[in-house]
Structure 1
Amino acid sequence: MLKTSEWVSLGHPDKIADYISCYLLDRHLDRDPYTRFAVEVQIKDNHVTLGGEVTSKANYSPEDIAAFVRAAVNQIGYTPEYQKRWGKENTICGDDLIVTQHIGQQSPDIAQGVDADGYGDQGIFHGMAVNSPATDYMPEDWYLAKKIGKHLYDIRYAGLDIKTQVTLRDSKPEEIVVAIPMQMKHSTQDIANAVQWCCGGNRDYKLIVNGTGRFVKHGPIGDCGTTGRKLAVDFYGGNCVIGGGSPWTKDGTKADLSLNLLARARAVSYIKEHPDCPEVHCAISCRIGSPEILVVFTDKSGNELLSYRETITPAEVIKEFRLREPRFADMCRNGLFS
């Protein structure tokens, strides 16, 4: 059986946008743990546009917000030194960013439901777990794509804008595709060695590095980055239905974050309690302004295993996953389920 998943590094344009939003949320939570936050980000060349709603006692000025954006991008690795190595025509520098802001406050129509400790949206949210502790109960193809991508990003051998794609046949790598910015001084063999290390020394797969033969312009110079556009990367690759929306750009009262986390946690618990089950999927549905949820477990063929209704407030989910703490940038960096 063939299974394919991809991963993108924090230096990918879409993940830069996600990270900026998460970094901004953390700075608000530093001052106000009860911040309500929903800010989308778009980045192209040196221009960053913020749009959304924030209700918080943090009261940052537009200048503060712009400084946080620049700090986030520098933290990713797009520094003056990095840009000097690659050239302004090929990549960005956080210090040079021009930040445009369109931020209001949360709608009172939504707030009244959240204030009553109900969810801030309605929808269906999906989680899954596979019976594989070695891959943190995540699908093997997704896990390996992430392992390779994070390793290439962490060793800083070439550029920061990295995408990896892994195809497994019966749990063994058959094809691995890597897109990574490279200059003449970089060797494809070094990339191959890094991939091989991630695969435990296995060489029995086809490796493709930079399918067009050239990748120098990168980050927001090469492509426009937008929040919430890497959902398969953020969740389970090609292995699970994706429910709700992006988990990033949102505080813990938003079901896109909290109930996606809960669905994953419930799926992992089910697998641990049923060691003969190879794979389980958990679907959770909610409605705006209510703490009641419907939970349904199915096997990988879609057969129902268990279902029930439960009352669990957003405050309880927030406490379980520590979502009033400034940890969103770390979750964005390491993966939602790390």
Structure 2
Amino acid sequence: MSDSELRLVSSESVTEGHPDKICDQVSDAILDALLAVDPHALTAVETVATRGLVHVVGEIKTEGYVEIPQIVRDVITGIGYTSSEVGFDGRSCGVSLSIGQQSAEIRDGVLTSYEARELGSTDPFDQQGAGDQGIMFGYATNETPEYMPAPIAMAHRLTRRLAGLRHSGELPWLRPDGKAQVTIGFDGATPRTVDTVVVSTQHDPERTNEEIREAVRRLVIDPVVAASGLDASGMKTFINPSGRFTEGGPGSDAGLTGRKIIVDTYGGAAHHGGGAFSGKDPSKVDRSAAYALRYAAKNAVAAGLADRLEIQVAYAIGKARPVGLYADSFGTGRLGSDQRIAEVLQQVFDLRPEAILERLDLRRPIYQRTAAYGHFGRDEPGFTWEALDRVDEVRAAAGL
């Protein structure tokens, strides 16, 4: 197949210094601190950052206490915003709070579910209801070793490498803000070529465009692309295509929690229910159910039920049991129908909120690390939803 016949698919990633990602990390750092002192804290925290100011808003129900302004400053300085010269200073910026108590009606609906109140269920996993209505999706594909779409997997590798070179001091003139975009050429569902790579990185003003482009091409793009094994003979690269990028972070562009949900998930290769993850405790099914569905989809693909699989689940607020589930294998399923795949998943995976929390051990301070470089496809301690520990159960339930 010629390059002109390939289907081009693009995804982007951003570094931890991107304004929106700063806000995600602040929100999740607050969540982590609360879970460390109260594993049952109910938290919905949003952060906005702009020139010289960080504002944290939301609702919290907890028996513990954390010093939120100090958490904000620690996150921002840890990212590398320690001076007005780099666009923001976490040590001197203003920090304001508008935090209230969570609605008692929402709290009661979560803690005493519809099944317990209306149906009299005594099943322990029926006692906690979903924190909201909504639809969530999970996805997996065998096109990469991490069961992630190739474009977003490569985009995350590029931004992590960019940040790593900055933190290590190998490229000390890099600054925290940056992003990458990757376009992959697909032959059907198989990635074949790296068509285009775009990298934009904030930098020290003394560096020339030529110096920046040479270093980023040699130390960031080329190693990542080579490791992919894809054909890059016709690859086009654009490094800081807008020219200079000395001003970055919240000093030049406001940031907001939850504004990079496609970066957080599958890069556009799968649906997203709309709900953001960061700042929400795991009783919120926006977060926990999306993790559970990734867990189910990944184990199902690894078990051979399909080459690609997307799962959707729907909840009603205050109700423990999902109100709907479907699976879509995009024609790659091996069980005769996608309905049969859905039946197998429902047999193996309990998607009631309390069951998810227990199985994936989600009431722990693990979330700040999820808030940059994607929530999925990372083999890291605490990312329990990435474990391939249900493959045999899935195969047995499917009769494979």
Alignment TM-score, normalising by the size of structure 1: 0.92
Q: Is the 8 A contact 1:39 1:50 kept in 2?
A: yes
Q: 3-state DSSP class of the match of 1:38?
A: strand
Alignment TM-score, normalising by the size of structure 2: 0.78
Compute the displacement of 1:278 (Å): 2.1
Compute the displacement of 1:133 (Å): 4.9
1:153 maps to 2:163? yes
Match of 2:80 in 1: 77
Matches within 5 A, 1:1-338: 1-60=7-66, 64-79=67-82, 83=83, 88=84, 90-116=86-112, 117-134=128-145, 136-156=146-166, 157=171, 158-170=174-186, 171=191, 172-182=193-203, 183-185=205-207, 186-193=211-218, 194-200=220-226, 202=232, 204-274=234-304, 277-293=306-322, 294-300=324-330, 305-306=338-339, 307-308=342-343, 312-337=351-376, 338=378
Give me the whole-angstrom Cα distance separating, in 1, the residues matched to 2:44 and 2:332: 33
- Structure with higher Rg: it is 2
Q: 3-state DSSP class of the match of 2:49?
A: strand
Give the share of equivalent positions with the same residue, in percent: 30
Give me the whole-angstrom Cα distance separating, in 2, the residues matched to 1:29 and 1:330: 14
Compute the displacement of 1:295 (Å): 2.3
Compute the displacement of 1:100 (Å): 1.0
The AA in structure 1 aligned to 2:224 is C
Q: 3-state DSSP class of the match of 1:195?
A: helix
Q: 3-state DSSP class of the match of 2:91?
A: helix
Q: Is the 8 A contact 2:308 2:332 kept in 1?
A: no
Give me the whole-angstrom Cα distance separating, in 2, the residues matched to 1:174 and 1:20: 35
Compute the displacement of 1:334 (Å): 4.6
- The unaligned stretches of length 5 or more in structure 2 are 1-6, 113-127, 379-400
Give me the whole-angstrom Cα distance separating, in 2, the residues matched to 1:333 and 1:8: 8
Q: Which is worse superposed, 153-162 or 222-231? A: 153-162
Compute the displacement of 1:149 (Å): 0.8
Aligned length: 326
Partner deviation per Cα, 1:249-282 (whole Å, 9 max, x = no partner):
100100110011111111112112226x221111
Q: Which is worse superposed, 328-337 or 261-270? A: 328-337
The AA in structure 1 aligned to 2:320 is P
The AA in structure 2 aligned to 1:265 is Y
Q: Is the 8 A contact 1:3 1:238 kept in 2?
A: no
Compute the displacement of 1:97 (Å): 1.9
Q: Is the 8 A contact 1:196 1:203 kept in 2?
A: no
Query: Are residues 300 and 97 of structure 1, via their aligned partners in 2, closer, same or farther at CA, if it must alter by over 3 Å?
Result: farther
Partner deviation per Cα, 1:93-129 (whole Å, 9 max, x = no partner):
1101211111101111111111020100111111111
Give me the whole-angstrom Cα distance separating, in 2, the residues matched to 1:77 and 1:329: 16
Query: Are residues 2 and 334 of structure 1, via their aligned partners in 2, closer, same or farther at CA, if it must alter by over 3 Å?
Result: closer
- The unaligned stretches of length 5 or more in structure 1 are none
Compute the displacement of 1:187 (Å): 2.6
Give me the whole-angstrom Cα distance separating, in 2, the residues matched to 1:163 and 1:302: 33
The AA in structure 1 aligned to 2:90 is G
Give me the whole-angstrom Cα distance separating, in 1, the residues matched to 2:328 and 2:351: 21
Query: Are residues 67 and 286 of structure 1, via their aligned partners in 2, closer, same or farther at CA, if it must alter by over 3 Å?
Result: same
Compute the displacement of 1:90 (Å): 4.6
Give me the whole-angstrom Cα distance separating, in 2, the residues matched to 1:103 and 1:150: 33
- RMSD over aligned CA atoms reads 1.8
Compute the displacement of 1:225 (Å): 0.3
Q: Is the 8 A contact 2:264 2:373 kept in 1?
A: no
Q: Is the 8 A contact 1:282 1:297 kept in 2?
A: yes
